[in-house]
Each structure stands twice: as structure tokens, then as C-alpha cells.
Amino acid sequence: MHDALLALSEPNRMAIMGLLREGERPAGDFVAALPISQPAVSKHLGVLRAAGLVTVRKDANRRLYRLNPAPLAELDAWLAPYRRFWSAKLDALEAHLDKEFPQ
């Protein structure tokens, strides 16, 4: 999980992950969509692959990248208690504000 969090801490890698939410893509799509060079895209894809967040398959003479949901599910499970904590706190704040400032 540490590798996935570290990989996701970089904005260009987050952008790549966002593009991959739409489905499998060739590396050229990332080069066209991001303000970075092809070698930089390759480096970021390598980091995402090493973290297990992205898989690649060859299709003729190009490589197609896609999301690997397993590490994301692990991160989601780890975040669940924090989500519940903040949800409860925000619900309490909403109730307090509704009481203090009725409409």
C-alpha cells in the first residue's frame, strides 16, 4: 500500500490514473493529454506499474495500459474508518448548525 500511496502523490500520475478510469489507453494518449514529454510519461507509467496500480499488455506494436483495481480496493479499505469518522463529525456539525441557524 505504501508504494501505491507514494505513486499517487505525484500530480501527473494522478492525471494518468484519471485518464485510465475511462478505460484502456495507449501511452500516446497520455503524451497528448499531459504537458510532459514522452520520456516523462514513460517514467510515470513505470512508477504506476511498479506500484501495481497499472497493468500493460501488448497489442501489435503498441502497449495498452489499464487500471488494476486491487491496490485501489486495498486503499479504499484502509480509508474506510477515516471516511466513517469524518462523516460522523460532519453530520454532527450539520446538526449543530441547523440548530443554531434554523431556516
Work out the angle at residue 68's Cα, subtended by the Cα atoms of residues 65 and 69, and round it to the nearest 5 degrees: 145
1 has a pLDDT exceeding 90: no
Contact indicator for 47, 17 with CB cutoff of 8 Å: no
The pLDDT-based confidence of 101 (bands split at 50, 70, 90) is very high
d(CA 16, CA 34): 8
Q: Match 460522523 to its residue by C-alpha cell.
A: 88
19-68, pLDDT tens digit by residue? 999 999 999 999 999 999 999 999 999 999 999 999 999 999 999 999 99
Tell me the residue length of the chain: 103
Instruction: Tell me the pTM.
Output: 0.80
Q: Which of 60, 19, 24 is nearest to 36 (CA)?
A: 19
